[in-house]
Amino acid sequence: MPWLRTSDAAEELACSTSFLKRNRETHGGFLIAEEDYILGASKTAPIVWNTESCRKKFHYRGRRLRDAESAADQLLQELRAVNA
């Protein structure tokens, strides 16, 4: 079952609970309410997380960051070669 409470989801995803919470769209992140997490019915109810969806989004974001870093490294090497 992919829907887990914050502490269990963090353990399942090998991250901290604060990392999960910081990555909600309401806090400038990329995890979407009702898709990646669901708020509880009360202020003190736990947030539950769709770990399958979160895992896919973590992977996608990680892949994009690595691709961008690789492209930047390649551009830097080309600029160094031109200026050499």
Confidence of residue 82 (pLDDT cuts 50, 70, 90): confident
pLDDT score of 2 more than 90? no
pLDDT score of 48 more than 90? yes
pLDDT score of 23 more than 70? yes
The Cα–Cα gap between 74 and 72 comes to: 5
- Give the pLDDT score at 81: 87
Which residue did the predictor score with more confidence, 79 or 35? 35
pLDDT score of 7 more than 70? yes
Mean of pLDDT values over 32-52 = 96
